[in-house]
Amino acid sequence: MMVEAFQIIGGKDLAGELVVEGSKNSTLPIMIATLVAKGKYVLKNVPNLRDIRTLVKLLESLGLQITKLDDHSYEIINTGLTNLEASYDLVKKMRASFLVMGGMLAYSKKATVSLPGGCAIGSRPVDLHLKGFEQLGVKIHIDHGYVYAEAEELIGNEIILDFPSVGATENIIMAAVKAKGKTILENAAKEPEIVDLCNFLNKMGAKITGAGRSRLEIEGVEELHACEHSIIPDRIVAGTYIIAAILFQGKITVRGVVREDLASFLSKLEEMGLKYQIEDDVFTVLSKLEDLKPGKITTMPHPGFPTDLQSPIMTLMCFIKGTSEIKETIFENRFMHVPELNRMGAKIDIDGSKATITGVDHFSSAEVMASDLRAGASLVLAALKSPGTSIVNRIYHVDRGYESLEVKLQALGANIERIKVDA
Give catalytic residues, as residue numbers.
119
For residues 21 and 200, what is the distance between their CA atoms, to the nearest angstrom?
A: 18
Together in a domain, 16 and 32: no
Residue 361 burial (CB < 10 Å; 0-12/13-18/19+)? exposed
* Residue 78: predicted pLDDT: 98
- Kindly state whether residues 7 and 31 are assigned to the same domain: no
The answer to whether residue 121 scores a pLDDT higher than 60 is no
Q: Are residues 284 and 327 in the same domain?
A: yes
The range of the structural domain enclosing residue 333 comes to: 2-21+233-422
User: Does residue 177 sit in the same domain as residue 158?
Assistant: yes
* Tens digits of residue pLDDT in 127-146: 899 999 999 999 999 888 89
220 with 240, same domain: the answer is: no
Residues 224 and 320 in one domain: no
Tens of pLDDT, residue by residue over 168-217, are 999 999 999 999 999 999 999 999 999 999 999 999 999 999 999 999 99
Whether 43 contacts 229, CB under 8 Å = yes
Co-location of 314 and 407 in the same domain? yes
CB 337 within 8 A of CB 314: yes
Which uninterrupted H or E stretch holds 403?
A: none
Indicate whether 73 and 35 sit together in one domain. yes
Name which of 13, 374, 22 is nearest 232 in CA terms: 22
CATH number, domain containing residue 91: 3.65.10.10
Distances (CA, A) of 318 to 234, 329, 375: 25, 21, 14
Q: Are 10 and 176 in contact (CB under 8 A)?
A: no
How many CA within 13 A on the CB side of residue 68?
12
Domain co-membership, 163 together with 174: yes
272 and 342 belong to one structural domain: yes
Read off the pLDDT of each residue in 383-397 and give the average, rounded to a whole number: 97
User: Residues at the annotated binding site for UDP-N-acetyl-alpha-D-glucosamine?
Assistant: 95, 124-128, 308, 330
Task: Give the domain-ending residue among 207, 230, 253.
Answer: 230
Tally of structural domains, the chain: 2
Sequence-ordered list of residues with C-beta below 8 angstroms from that of 123, at least 6 positions apart, any chain: 332
Same domain, 67 and 56: yes
Judgement on whether residues 16 and 50 belong to the same structural domain of the protein: no
